[in-house]
Structure 1
Amino acid sequence: MSRIADDATTAWIRRYHPSADSAVRLVCFPHAGGSASFFRPVSVRFAAEADVVALQYPGRQDRRHELCVEDIGVLADRLSEELGALSDKPTVFFGHSMGAVLAFETALRLEERGAGAPRAIVASGRRAPSCHRAERVHQEDDEGVIAELRLLNGTDAAVFGDDELMRMALPAIRGDYRAIETYTCPPGRRVRCGITVLTGDADPRTTLEEAAAWKEHTEGAFRMQVFPGGHFFLIDHQGAVNAELGKELDAARATVS
């Protein structure tokens, strides 16, 4: 695959505030049903100091006519190819919910390649990869999927009142849920880079114990920060979450000779 320029946007890679001369990179992995634009506020915050890349999976927004990838391994394979075509910069991966698992799986693949691997992963709003729950939201009818979205409280209320928007969004949401709910990971699977976990203390889909179990998936440093709130705690605590991202980017920048 040919190299992707440091200021380029592609089907997979979105740069809302290109910063080609930045010494470090932040790659953002959206949640199930989410899109690259969810991370626009992060891009605004770090535009002056990092190459902020937000990933756009198939099946949503301007890629809504493409088939959703319903397998975490296949999607991580594709993402590792795309990210492997970027220039070599100290990089931090930031993933929320399903995106945290994708960040982990993509990092594993890049570490195996020996190029493009992150210096750290910030895993937000997701239990450790080996903590499996028998969840079947992807098998529910449309009302069941919508009930799950309401429970997690991360979808704009206006979307629920717009039938056309909801019909457009549901295929990608269901496909992503199928991908994450059928995903499994053995307990001993580890990345070499460090992992920082961010979690809400009232998340209905991740207990504090399940979040802490990420420690078993890294050979590097581990730390965990607990925030008040549910699954989308990061929306209410954007400043504090950005501060955690800033710490990781500073550490990555310090490795530049």
Structure 2
Amino acid sequence: MVPTPRWLLREPSESAAVRLFCIPYSGCGASMYRQWPRFLGDVEVCAVQLPGRENRLREQPYRTYEAMADDLAEALLPYLDRPFAFFGHCGSALPGYETTVRLAERGYPLPARLFVSSQVAPHQGPAGRFLEMSDDELKVEVHELIEQLGGKALPDLVELSVRILRADVEANKRYRPPEPTLLPVPISALGWRHDVEVDHRRMSGWSDCGPATFHLLDGPHYRFMEAPPELMRLLSDELAAAAVA
């Protein structure tokens, strides 16, 4: 297998029964999943690295989710030789969906499951308070997020992160599919009880995109980064069948 160091933080293990490709939240890099375990039983957590952040800092962020999905589908293809799934939270749930659309269009392997957390269905967006924020307002959000991730919010780091976040926000604004593509892939739509960014009651539209099940987890918008046990258990349980397929 040819390594793809740009797109993944590490080469996936040949011993994994299932691969869970995790796309980073808007404005962040793959290291945001550093609190997640590498393995959930037989499921390997594979953090995806997008252009413009961390070790891909010199590259330009994508202007559209469609362009991102075009490239991501091809980059991950060598690693789709066994059951796999996508996980995305908020803005990154949409590239996970769009990449699944690309895989279906190209006749490539399809995920065993698509996990979409804290995001409305693609044809019912865009949604979220970041969409109308100024750069100064985004700086406040980035400052808080960096500290929540355990970093130090240095001015240069905040400025750089705002540039990436602004690009991601604009890509979200541009993503307006007129109608959903119905996928032959089970979708797990995950809402968060105390989420003030995306109300879980607005996520029902995912049933228009494929066979969907809905789950409500405790916590606010950013709790997923902490690898809460109930989320890890849900991911593991819902991929258990794929691991023995």
**TM-score calculated relative to the size of structure 1:** 0.85
Q: Match for residue 30 of structure 2? A: 36
In the TM superposition, residue 188 of structure 1 has moved relative to its aligned partner by 3.5
SS at match of 1:79: helix
Give the one of 47, 53, 56 matched to 1:63: 56
In the TM superposition, residue 135 of structure 1 has moved relative to its aligned partner by 6.2
> Is 1:171–2:163 an aligned residue pair?
yes
The structure-2 alpha-carbon separation of the partners of 1:40 and 1:161, relative to structure 1 and needing over 3 Å to count, comes to closer
SS at match of 2:51: coil
Output aligned runs, 1:1-257, within 5 Å. Answer: 4=2, 8-15=3-10, 18-46=12-40, 49-133=42-126, 137=130, 140-149=133-142, 154-157=145-148, 161-218=153-210, 220=211, 222-235=212-225, 238-255=228-245
The structure-2 alpha-carbon separation of the partners of 1:105 and 1:94, relative to structure 1 and needing over 3 Å to count, comes to same
SS at match of 1:42: coil
Q: Distance in 2 between matches of 1:205 and 1:22?
A: 34
The Cα offsets for residues 140-176 of structure 1, whole Å up to 9 and x where unpaired, read as: 54312124447xx644257574212112212111111
In the TM superposition, residue 229 of structure 1 has moved relative to its aligned partner by 2.6
Q: Distance in 2 between matches of 1:126 and 1:238?
A: 19
Q: Distance in 2 between matches of 1:154 and 1:96?
A: 15
In the TM superposition, residue 20 of structure 1 has moved relative to its aligned partner by 1.2
Q: Distance in 2 between matches of 1:145 and 1:179?
A: 15
- Kept in 2, the 8 Å contact 1:199–1:233? The answer is no
Percent identity for Structure 1 against Structure 2 = 27
Letter in 2 for 1:167: E
Q: Distance in 1 between matches of 2:196 and 2:51?
A: 27
In the TM superposition, residue 181 of structure 1 has moved relative to its aligned partner by 1.9
SS at match of 1:82: helix
The structure-2 alpha-carbon separation of the partners of 1:91 and 1:164, relative to structure 1 and needing over 3 Å to count, comes to same
- Kept in 2, the 8 Å contact 1:159–1:165? The answer is no
Letter in 2 for 1:15: R
SS at match of 1:41: coil
Q: Distance in 2 between matches of 1:170 and 1:54?
A: 21
Q: Distance in 2 between matches of 1:236 and 1:56?
A: 19
SS at match of 2:213: strand
> What is the number of equivalent residue pairs in this alignment?
244
In the TM superposition, residue 138 of structure 1 has moved relative to its aligned partner by 6.1
Give the gaps of 5 or more residues in structure 1: none
Choose 37-46 or 155-164, whichever is displaced more. Answer: 155-164
Letter in 1 for 2:185: C
Letter in 2 for 1:13: L
**TM-score calculated relative to the size of structure 2:** 0.88
SS at match of 2:123: coil
| Shift >3 Å, 4+ stretches | 133-141, 147-150, 157-161
SS at match of 1:121: strand
- Kept in 1, the 8 Å contact 2:142–2:162? The answer is no
